[in-house]
Chain A
Amino acid sequence: MSLEAENPVFLREVRIGFAGRVIQEEMTFAIENGEFIAVLGPNGAGKTTLLKLLLGLVRPEAGEVWVFGRKPRRGNPAIGYAPQFRTLDTNFGVRARDLVGFGLDGHRFGPGFPSRKRRELIDRVIEEVGAAGYAEAPVGELSGGERQKLSLAQVLISNPGLVLLDEPLANLDMAAAREIIGLVGRLRVSRRVAVMLVTHDINPLLPHIDRVLYLANGRSAIGAPQSVITRETLSSLYNHPVDVVEAMGKKFVLGVET
C-alpha cells in the first residue's frame, strides 16, 4: 500500500454509477489530513454519490477507494457525515442536545442511561459550535442556521478525522451561510479534520478552502480554486465553452447550469 493510501481519502481510477448509468469515471485524487475541500458541480454530477462511496453506502464499479488506508465501510467512526435535505421532522419531540447525542451513541443498543460524562461531552461540543443558547430547545423550533450548527456538533462529537458535509449551506441566507463556513474553517484547524463540503456557491468559501473538487459531465478536476475554476479547466470538463468571470472579488461561472 502506498503512502497515499493512508490519507483520509484516496481514490484511484474510480468509476461510480447510479441507476445503471456511469456518473463519474477515472477519479484519482487524495485528500490530506486537515484539508478543506469544496466539492462543486451541477446536479447529478455525482457529488452525493461520492460521499456515499466514502461512507460505504455505495460501491465503486471500478477502481480503488481508501479511507484512512482502509476500505470504506458503513459505520466508520473515522467519518462524520451530515446529509443533504434532512427531513428532520418538526413535530419530533427531540431537543437540540438529543440530536447531538445521536452522533455520540445513537447507533448503540440499550436505553442509554444518562451520565455526567455523556452530558459534559455533549455540552462541550455544543459550546464549541456556539449553540449553547438553545441546547434544550426542541429541534423543530430552530432556524436552518441553528440546525446546521447542531448538525456540525453531532458530526464532531465522535471525533472524526474526515467530515463530509452535503450542502450544509442550502436554504441558508448569506449571513447564516458565512457563519457556518467560518465555523467549519475554524473547527477544521482546531481539530485538524479533513473536510469535504458540497456546495453550489464557491464564493463565500474561497477564503477558507485549500482545494476545489469539481465534478461535471462524468469527469472531475481537483486543485486550487484559481487553477480549477478557470475558463480552460471548466471548458474541458464540460466539453463545451464555459466562461469564468471575476467581478467584485467573486467568481461567476457562465454558460452552464451549476
Chain B
Amino acid sequence: MFHSIIALYRFEFLQNALLSGIFIALAASVVGYFLIEGGYTFAGHALPNIGFAGAAGAVFFGVRPVYGLFVMTILAAAAINAGGREPRERDVAIGVVMTFALGLGLMFLSLYGGYAERVYSILFGTVLGITRSDVIFTAIMSLVSVCLVLVMFRPLLFIMFDPFVAEAKGVPVRLLTLMFLMIVAVTVSLAVQVVGSLLVFTLLVGPGATASRLTSGPCRAILISAMLGVAYMVAGVSLAGLSGDWPVSFFIASISFLVYMPVRMFFRKKGRLAALPQKVLHEHVPRGIVNTGENWKKTEARC
C-alpha cells in the first residue's frame, strides 16, 4: 500500500495535484475557522456556487475559467459585505445573490453547448491538468492569504466575537470584514480548481468544525484545523490516485465526514469529552454552578 502510494507520485500531474492541494487545504482550513466562528458558513457555501457561474461564463466567453472564478467570487464578497452585519439579513441577501448566480451559470452552460467536460471539472474538481506554474501560483496566493489572515488575526477574531466592542475600540470593522471575505473569495477560487465548486465547502468547513470541537483556544483550533485540512488533502489525492479515476473531492468529503461524526458525538462541549463534565457536575458541583476552578485547571493548556 505504502509503496504503491510512493510509486503514484512518480507521475508529475499527481505531484502537482498534491502540492497545490496542500497549499489550498492550508488556506481553506485557516480561513474556514473564521468562517465558522464568525457565522459566515453560508457565505462559504455561496461563494463557490457563485464562482461556478463565473467559471461557466468564462468558458462561454472562451477565457480561462479561473479568471471567471476570481472575478465573480470577489464581486460577490463585496456584495455580501454590503449586505449588512446582522446574520439573518445577510444570509437572505447571500441566498438571493447565490441563486441569481446559479441561474446565470446555468444559462451560460446551455448557451455554450460545447463539450461539458470542462464544466464538469469546475463542479467536481479534477487532479488532471494542473501544471507546475499552477502549483507556484496556487502556493503564492495561498500563502499570501494565510499571511493576511495572520496579520488580521486578533482584530478579526474580535470582530467575529464581539463586533460592538471591537468597533468602540477603533477596529475598522467593515474594512476588515471586506478584506476577510476577499481572502475567502481568493481561497475558494483556488480550491474550486482541485475539489470543485460543489465540494469546496467540505474543505472550508470540515477541518475547522472538527478542530473547534476538539479544543477551545483559537490558536490551537487553527493549528489543528490546518493539520486536519492538509491531512485530508494528502489522503484524498493519494486515494484518488490509487483508485484510478475516482474524484478527489469524493474522498476528501468522505474523510471529513467520517472524522467529524465521532468528534461531534463524543466532544459535546468545546474541547472536552462528553462524559467528563456530567460526572464532575453531579459529584462535586452544587446545582446551578457549571464550572469550578479545579475543573478547568486540569484542562489548562496554552496556545
A contact set with B: CB distance below 8 Å: 55, 57, 73-76, 79, 81-83, 86, 88-89, 91-95, 98-99, 102-103, 105-112, 114, 119, 132-138, 140-143, 146, 154
Q: Specify which chain B residues have a CB less than 8 angstroms from the CB of A94 in the assembled complex.
A: 157, 161, 216-218
Smallest CB separation, A213 vs chain B (Å): 20
- Whether B165 lies near A137 (C-beta < 8 A) is no
Which listed residue (B165, B171, B221, B296) contacts A135, Cβ 8 A? B296
12 A-B pairs within 8 Å (CB atoms) are namely: A81-B165, A93-B218, A93-B271, A98-B157, A107-B154, A107-B170, A109-B151, A111-B151, A114-B302, A134-B296, A138-B216, A143-B289
Report the bound CA distance from A142 to B297 in whole Å: 15
Asked if B12 is at the interface (CB within 8 A of a chain A CB), the reply is no
B contact set with A: CB distance below 8 Å: 37, 39, 150-155, 157-158, 160-162, 164-171, 212, 215-218, 221, 269-271, 289-293, 295-297, 299-300, 302-303
What is the chain B residue whose CB lies nearest that of A112? B154
- Whether A93 lies near B296 (C-beta < 8 A) is no
Residue of A88, A92, A105, A135 with highest tally of chain B CB at under 10 A: A92
- Whether A133 lies near B151 (C-beta < 8 A) is no
Report the bound CA distance from A159 to B300 in whole Å: 27
- Whether A134 lies near B153 (C-beta < 8 A) is no
- Whether B292 lies near A133 (C-beta < 8 A) is yes
- Whether A136 lies near B297 (C-beta < 8 A) is yes
Which listed residue (B37, B154, B161, B300) contacts A136, Cβ 8 A? B300
- Interface SS majority for chain A: loop
Residue of A95, A103, A134, A135 with highest tally of chain B CB at under 10 A: A95
**Known A94-B216, A135-B296; contact A57-B165, beta-carbon cutoff 8 A:** no
Which listed residue (B37, B166, B296) contacts A137, Cβ 8 A? B296
Q: Specify which chain B residues have a CB less than 8 angstroms from the CB of A73 in the assembled complex.
A: 170
**Known A81-B165, A83-B168, A106-B155; contact A111-B293, beta-carbon cutoff 8 A:** no
- Shortest beta-carbon contacts, A-B, top 4: A75-B170, A133-B293, A106-B158, A138-B270
Which listed residue (A107, A119, A134) contacts B158, Cβ 8 A? A107
- Whether B217 lies near A95 (C-beta < 8 A) is yes
- Whether B153 lies near A111 (C-beta < 8 A) is yes
Q: Specify which chain B residues have a CB less than 8 angstroms from the CB of A109 in the assembled complex.
A: 151-152, 154-155
Q: Specify which chain B residues have a CB less than 8 angstroms from the CB of A142 in the assembled complex.
A: 290-291
What is the chain A residue whose CB lies nearest that of B292? A133
**Known A86-B162, A111-B151, A114-B302; contact A93-B290, beta-carbon cutoff 8 A:** no
Q: Specify which chain B residues have a CB less than 8 angstroms from the CB of A138 in the assembled complex.
A: 216, 269-271
Report the bound CA distance from A220 to B300 in whole Å: 49
Q: Specify which chain B residues have a CB less than 8 angstroms from the CB of A74 in the assembled complex.
A: 167-170
Which listed residue (A55, A105, A146) contacts B168, Cβ 8 A? A55
Report the bound CA distance from A134 to B296 in whole Å: 6
**Known A55-B168, A138-B216, A143-B290; contact A112-B153, beta-carbon cutoff 8 A:** yes
